[in-house]
Amino acid sequence: MNHEHIMRKSLYVNVFLVFMKIVSGFFFNSVALIADGVHSISDLLSDIFVVLGIRHSIKPADEDHPFGHGKFEYVLSLLLGLSIITIAYNLGKNVITNWSNAIEVPNGLTMVIIVVVIGLKLILARYLIRKGQETGSEIIQASGQESFSDVISSAVVFIGVGGVLLGHQLDIDWLLYGDKVASFIIALFIIRIGIIIVLEAIKSIQGKTVGEEICQEYKESIAKIDGVHAVDQLDMIAYGPYYQAIVEIKVDGTKTVKEGHDIAHLVHETLLKNEKICHVSVHVNPGGKL
């Protein structure tokens, strides 16, 4: 299953959730559910950005981009994070501005809607995180994490709306603000998610190495190549959904330049057989004769 197909599924679910939350929020008088719908709009933007990013990042290398277009994914992640922060800021500002306005008691059916939303979003979040890990796509995993935050925000809405309904039944005034408090908490939560996405995108744009566990797998395959005495160093740099490999190998110091080159070329070609590696640089270090 390709990356774009995965994200299209998420896109369809989020379109449905945005419609469901915002329409239900207006119909059942829940400011918090409308705010949660705005949060889902950020998920929708995420999916659109991811689909665009995937389409561009999988383009083959060209003269102007010899390592491919993988880092475009990080640029879109950065824009996504900034968009989420902007949406959340305006949401929080709106809650504060309208704090003293008349309080409307939501319809009890709002609770049922929220439970359905939480169930759907939890399934989607787990699906995206799992597929992101399977495909090694950072932006799909980020979208899954953002979707999981929607589960938490919907839980906050559930508590807030429940508080308003309880306050109305028991005539407890301070509980009537639960809907607005939930809306403000969601705004803060969305801002936090946006900041995390921005920081991760900046880190990736600067050049982030992959985990030692992944490197070890490639080291073992290189060490098996005839003529390679040892793998002195291997750096795997994330490049969107791909890796850029920089490797130093040790060969018999008595071999000719051509023989050393042939071994390096074999390492180069072996690594490039893996579809996740977009570029390989091999440096040869002389060692003792075995």
Q: What is the pTM of this model?
A: 0.61
Query: Are 108 and 47 members of one domain?
Result: yes
The reply to whether 27 and 156 lie within a common domain is yes
**Which residue range forms the structural domain that includes residue 10?**
3-207
Q: What is the pLDDT of residue 66?
A: 57
1-33 tens-digit pLDDT: 577 788 788 888 888 988 888 888 888 877 778
Please check whether residues 187 and 258 belong to one and the same domain. no
Same domain? 126 vs 9: yes
> Tell me, what CATH number does 280's domain have?
3.30.70.1350
Asked whether the predicted pLDDT for residue 68 surpasses 60, the reply is no
pLDDT 10s digits, 147-206: 777 787 788 888 888 888 888 788 787 777 877 787 788 788 878 888 988 888 887 777
Q: Higher pLDDT residue, 223 or 36?
A: 223
What does the pLDDT look like over 129-148, one tens digit per residue?
A: 888 888 777 667 877 877 77
What percent of the chain lies above the pLDDT cut of 70?
A: 84
Number of domains in the chain: 2
Q: Which of 153, 150, 158 is nearest to 112 (CA)?
A: 158
Residue 250: the pLDDT is 92
Residue 214 corresponds to which tokens in the numbers above? 């992944």
Last residue of a domain, one of 171, 191, 207: 207
Q: Tell me, what CATH number does 157's domain have? A: 1.20.1510.10
Other C-beta atoms closer than 10 Å to the C-beta of 204 total 23
pLDDT value at residue 245: 87
Confidence at residue 171, expressed as pLDDT on a 0 to 100 scale: 78
- Residue 6's pLDDT is 83
Least confident of 3-7, 36-40, 184-188, 239-243: 239-243
* Residue-level pLDDT at 63: 64
State the average pLDDT over residues 213-231.
87
pLDDT digits (tens, 9 = 90+) for 88-115: 887 788 778 777 765 666 777 888 888 9
pLDDT for res 248: 93
Same domain, 134 and 251: no
How far apart CA 230 and CA 235 sit, in angstroms, is 15
pLDDT for the residue 263: 92
121 and 48 together in one domain: yes
Return mean pLDDT, the chain. Answer: 80
Comparing C-alpha atoms, which of 195, 212, 170 is closest to residue 81? Answer: 195
- Shared domain check, 193 and 67: yes
- Assess whether pLDDT exceeds 70 at residue 207: no
In terms of DSSP H, where are the helices of the chain? 3-27, 31-57, 72-97, 109-135, 138-170, 178-207, 212-223, 257-272
What pLDDT sits at residue 70? Answer: 61
Of 188, 207, 226, which one is at a domain's C-terminal end?
207
pLDDT at site 264: 92
Of 258 and 279, the one with more pLDDT: 258
Region 76-86 average pLDDT: 81
50 with 184, same domain: the answer is yes
- In terms of domains, do 135 and 264 share one? no
β-pairing, 242-252 with 230-239?
antiparallel
Residue 74: predicted pLDDT: 74
* Residue 217: Cβ-neighbour burial (10 angstroms; 0-12, 13-18, 19+): exposed
SS3 (DSSP) at 101: coil
**Tokens at 229, concatenated:** 């005495």
Domain check: are 36 and 126 in the same one? yes
Among 167, 188, 207, identify where a domain stops: 207
43, 127: one domain? yes
Same domain, 135 and 16: yes
